[in-house]
Amino acid sequence: MKSRLALACAAGGLSLLAALPASFMALAQTAPLSDKSTLKPVASFSSIADQKARSVALFKEAGKVIEHPRCLNCHPAGDKPLQTIAMHPHQPPVTRGDGGMGVPGMMCNTCHGAENATIVGQSPTLKSVPGNPAWHLAPIEMAWVGKSLGEICQQLKDPTRNGGRDLSKIVEHMSHDNLVGWGWNPGEGREPAPGTQAEFGELIKAWVDTGAACPAG
């Protein structure tokens, strides 16, 4: 049933995409992995003697994940999610709604099931519908798009803007949350976030352990 629903939603999305300019379709294609596709291990920062400088460097490395479209697309500054590596507005057009789950008639789980759904023979640019049991937009107070890495860093340390988490819970969230982990398992046709969730979690923990210093700006 989920597969049939995903295909139906994908077909609807394809009909909308067909009306879009060819330039959009070209941009929607999967981009090749960049040289930023890996994460340096925590140990590689041990030579930085100044603890604050080391903490900032660790967060900048983790920022390769935080600022990747796999994360930013669901942390928009407005009420509409983004999609593709080029961060286009979501198609079909949807809006945040209560709890970031969409609005009646266009809820997130209308098309997004509990797991990624591969699409066969539909389009060379749309190969799967992403899915996760907790699929939803991040709360608006947790918006990242349009902010500098330093601003996001300060936001992550502020319980009023990070979901009420202290730093230990931030480490747990980044290291083990299943929806965060989707960024490394985004389905066929999508570039994953850099490195692995385990490596990302280790960087965040080391950043916290060294004082959780933030980059300037």
Q: Specify the residue for token string 């994953």.
A: 192
Amino acid, res. 169: K
Alpha-carbon gap, residue 119 to 126, rounded angstroms: 7
CB 81 within 8 A of CB 93: no
Segment among 43-52, 53-62, 120-129, 191-200 with least mean pLDDT: 120-129
Ordered by start, the domain boundaries in the chain are 2-209
Query: Among residues of the chain, what percentage have pLDDT more than 90?
Result: 80
CA angle 143, 146, 150 (to 5 degrees): 85
17 neighbors 91 (Cβ within 8 angstroms): yes
Per the DSSP assignment, residues forming a β-bridge with 118 are 128
- Name the band, by pLDDT with cuts 50, 70 and 90, for residue 105: very high
Q: What is the pLDDT of residue 217?
A: 83
DSSP state of 56: H
Read off the pLDDT band of 35 (50, 70, 90): low
Per-residue pLDDT band for 55 (boundaries 50, 70, 90) equals very high
CA distance 63 to 202: 13
pTM over the 0.75 mark: yes
